[in-house]
């Protein structure tokens, strides 16, 4: 297959842990050809098809200078529908430009492109709001702009987490305990005087055991999660916030969640999703560019990238 990865600049990759890199490596190992573009390189001219300024690359196998240009295929502008698969791997934030990129990708779908994850599904599943559909698996949660409603939630649950709906990597997350210290100031910071919605959740003390990333590929769970364990006095387990990643077999509850949520997401065009679980509760469903492939492989030997490329090949063959 000819596979196009829509991603951040290649020069920004940390290949020792980058999930998109692990996908590329496995795809190349199987003989697939790799191309990349950035969202900024996509364009759609009236009356024409969606194209992108594309780099055709070969992975070198070296830590430094880890890719080189494919001499047989000069870089240039290519129609997205000419690829066998387009894999959307642009990292958040899910801002207006990401939103517009999904519309260009959806047009490419209408022209015949096979895009994973499906652009409409990316728009329809905001990573924090998506959990609300699966209320049987979440803890007490509120989404609101109303400061007084947040205060009432705190009065009921005493120890809470507040976070912006568009945050990533643990940014903008606050914990307020029973004393309510700085609650008013935190609400003002997050809801911008009622202009922005905030997610508020009951604090889950099981976070000390890790914020588990449960990966679901083609509707099926990867048998290991990566528990992101907060360090020191930090409440956030996110790797970007300094959390320690520890791979572990799925618990009975993890498996129950993944087997219920996974097929629903897959049926909507989400080939890959990362379900975040603290204790027994789902806290987020990541669909933009879920990670942790390499950490799980390095610690357990389970080849998550191979499972993903298997699912990608099957999805393309089924079209």
Catalytic residue among 33, 213, 254, 295: 213
pLDDT at 126 over 80: yes
222: exposed, middle or buried (C-beta count within 10 Å: 0-12, 13-18, 19+)?
Answer: buried
The one catalytic residue among 55, 118, 286, 295: 286
The reply to whether 95 belongs to the active site is: no
Residue 151 falls in the annotated catalytic set: no
Measuring CA to CA, how many Å separate 257 from each of 205, 215, 277? 19, 11, 9
Of 212, 228, 238, 254, the active-site residue reads 228
Catalytic residue among 25, 55, 163, 212: 163
- Locate 248 and state its tokens: 């572990």
In terms of CATH, what superfamily is 140-203? ATP-grasp fold, A domain (3.30.1490.20)
pTM of the model: 0.94
Give 197-239 pLDDT, tens digit per residue: 999 999 999 999 999 999 999 999 999 999 999 887 677 667 7
Q: What is the pLDDT of residues 296-310, one digit of tens each?
A: 999 999 999 999 999
> Could you confirm whether 149 is annotated as catalytic?
no
- Identify the CA nearest to 89 among candidates 22, 167, 44: 22
- Tell me if the bond preceding 146 is cis, omega within 30° of 0: no
For the domain spanning 2-117, the CATH number is 3.40.50.20
Q: What is the mean pLDDT of the chain?
A: 95
Does residue 163 have an active-site annotation?
yes
Based on the residue annotation, tell me whether 213 is a catalytic residue of this protein. Answer: yes
Q: What pLDDT sits at residue 2?
A: 98
Scored b (16 or more CB within 10 A) or e, 190-212 reads bbeeeeebbbbbbbbeebebbbb
Q: Which residues share a beta bridge with 33? A: 2
Whether the Cβ atoms of residue 247 and residue 303 lie closer than 8 Å to each other: no
Cβ atoms of 87 and 5 within 8 Å: the answer is: yes
Range(s) within the chain of domains with CATH label 3.30.1490.20: 140-203
**pLDDT tens digit sequence for 39-85:** 999 999 999 999 999 999 999 999 999 999 998 999 999 999 999 99
Q: Is 228 a catalytic residue?
A: yes
Contact by Cβ (8 Å): 13, 96? no
Task: Express as a percent the part of the chain with pLDDT over 90.
Answer: 91
Q: Give the model's pLDDT for residue 241.
A: 64
Residue 115, beta-bridge partner list: 86
Overall fold of domain 206-317: D-amino Acid Aminotransferase; Chain A, domain 1 (3.30.470)
Q: How many other C-beta atoms can be found within 10 angstroms of the C-beta atom of residue 319?
A: 8
Q: State pLDDT tens for residues 77-89.
A: 999 999 999 999 9
pLDDT, residue 168, reads 75
Q: What is the pLDDT of residue 123?
A: 96
Q: What is the pLDDT of residue 170?
A: 74
33 counts as catalytic: no
pLDDT score for 237? 67
97 pLDDT more than 80: yes
């Amino acid at each position: 297959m000819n596979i196009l990865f829509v991603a951040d600049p290649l020069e920004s990759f940390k290949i020792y842990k980058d999930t998109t890199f692990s996908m590329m490596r496995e795809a190349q190992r199987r003989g697939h050809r790799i191309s990349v573009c950035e969202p900024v390189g996509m364009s759609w001219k009236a009356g024409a098809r969606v194209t992108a300024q594309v780099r055709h690359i070969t992975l070198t196998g070296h830590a430094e200078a880890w890719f080189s240009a494919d001499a047989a295929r000069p870089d240039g502008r290519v129609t997205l529908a000419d690829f066998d698969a387009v894999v959307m791997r642009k990292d958040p934030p899910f801002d207006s430009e990401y939103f517009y990129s999904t519309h260009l990708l959806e047009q490419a779908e209408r022209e015949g492109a096979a895009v994973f994850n499906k652009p409409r599904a990316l728009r329809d599943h905001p990573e924090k709001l998506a959990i609300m559909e699966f209320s049987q698996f979440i803890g007490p949660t509120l989404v609101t702009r109303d400061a007084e409603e947040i205060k009432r939630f705190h009065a009921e649950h005493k120890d809470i987490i507040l976070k912006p709906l568009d945050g990533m990597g643990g940014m903008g997350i606050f914990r307020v305990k029973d004393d309510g210290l700085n609650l008013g100031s935190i609400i003002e910071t997050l809801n911008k005087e009622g202009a922005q919605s905030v997610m508020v959740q009951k604090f889950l003390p099981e976070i000390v055991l890790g914020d588990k990333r449960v990966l679901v590929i083609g509707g099926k769970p990867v048998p290991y999660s990566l528990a992101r364990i907060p360090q020191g006095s930090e409440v956030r387990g996110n790797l970007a916030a300094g959390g320690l990643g520890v791979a572990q077999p799925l618990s009975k509850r993890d498996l129950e969640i993944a087997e219920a949520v996974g097929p629903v997401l897959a049926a909507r065009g989400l080939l890959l999703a990362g379900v975040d679980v603290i204790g027994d509760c789902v806290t987020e469903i990541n669909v933009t560019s879920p990670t942790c492939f390499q950490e799980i492989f390095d610690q357990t030997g389970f080849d998550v990238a191979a499972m993903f490329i298997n699912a990608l090949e099957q999805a393309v063959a089924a079209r």
